[in-house]
Amino acid sequence: MARAVLFDRIGGPEVLAVHDVQTPAPGAGELRIKVEAIGLNRAEVLFRTGTYLTSPDLPSGLGCEAVGTVDATGPGVEGFAPGDRVDVLPLFSQNDYPTYGDLVLVPAAATVHRPPGLDPVRAAALWMPYLTAYGALAADGHLRPGDHALITAASSSVGLAAIRTARHLGAVPIATTRTRAKRRQLLDAGAAHVIVTGEQDLPAEVAAITGGRGARTAFDPVSGPGVEDLARALAPGGALIVYGRLDPRPTPLPGADTFAPITSRFYTVFEVAADPERLRRAVAFITAGLRAGTLAPLVDRVFDGLDDIADAHRYLESNAQVGKIVVTVRP
């Protein structure tokens, strides 16, 4: 038997429970992974509460990335063998391949061999943040050396990855946070400047930092009415990239009040995942940054065992973290 986290109704962390399930057999193109650690993502909270891009097929598992060792391979799988240390990339629906468990099935196409020198906890904190940041900031060459990148909600794992990705590209990361509580940690993580939005005027601060030019790129998981301030902080020709909806209020067309010459769009990591060539380049970019020491996973807190999954979700929803939350899975 295997153990898996399931929920049979929409709700808070209390709906999550660990169940004994039949050990799954891998099908064509699949791997069975003996999970060592799971990285938690905001998408899993949205999935559990019924507010994600896709709705859960109840009763449902959840989770979209994990690290561990290959336990078995399905027909047609090449390049992997039992015992290989691997990382599972977030490239599939949680309905199809939930990863909260000790033995899980995943597509071989969404799995990579673990980069040297990474332990399971740090590996679980790597891929979702950096794949997301890569696709938004690095993939199309829009953000250039010397440009300013405005990164909102920057204490999240993706925000921290975006700070380091911008620096890796030679750009200047400007981080935002609502209060001063996380300011020092953001500077220590590599932000060149930190704007405390609860106390400071964001467009005015960006103008002062950039000598009046504005930021080349704004990378935002919040959306809602706040995008108007982000538009005012952008340079002509700048881009606003929205990758989340933490603010459920309607999102206006950025720059509509001033007819600012900027572009804006919504973005998800699946833009990278859906294109094998873009994914290949993303993995190469991230592993090169690891070797150079310019990119690194940042872990806030580790929870021990699947039985702590509800507490881990409560902590994720508290927004107290700076970096990734990881749950280890006991053998």
Domains of the chain by start residue, with CATH = 2-126+297-328 (3.90.180.10), 129-271 (3.40.50.720)
Percent of the chain having pLDDT more than 70?
Answer: 100
What is the per-residue pLDDT for 331? 76
Question: Please, which residues bridge with residue 303 across strands?
Answer: 327
* Nearest alpha-carbon partner for 108 in 27, 1, 35: 27
Instruction: Give the C-alpha separation, 58 to 81, whole Å.
Output: 33
pLDDT digits (tens, 9 = 90+) for 208-228: 999 999 999 999 999 999 999
Q: Count CA within 13 A, CB hemisphere, residue 299.
A: 18
- Cβ contacts of residue 246 below 8 Å, gap of 6+? 42, 153, 221, 222, 223, 224
CA distance 138 to 146: 14
Mean residue pLDDT across the chain: 95
- pLDDT given at position 240: 97
Residues 6+ apart with CB under 8 A from 305: 327, 328, 329, 330
Q: Where does the pLDDT of residue 53 fall: very low under 50, low under 70, confident under 90, or very high at 90 and above? A: confident
Closest CA to 287 of 36, 116, 108: 116
Cα separation, 37 vs 128, whole angstroms: 14
Q: What is the pLDDT of residues 120-164, one digit of tens each?
A: 999 999 999 999 999 999 999 999 999 999 999 999 999 999 999
Res. 260 pLDDT band, cuts 50 70 90:
confident
Percentage of the chain with pLDDT > 90? 92
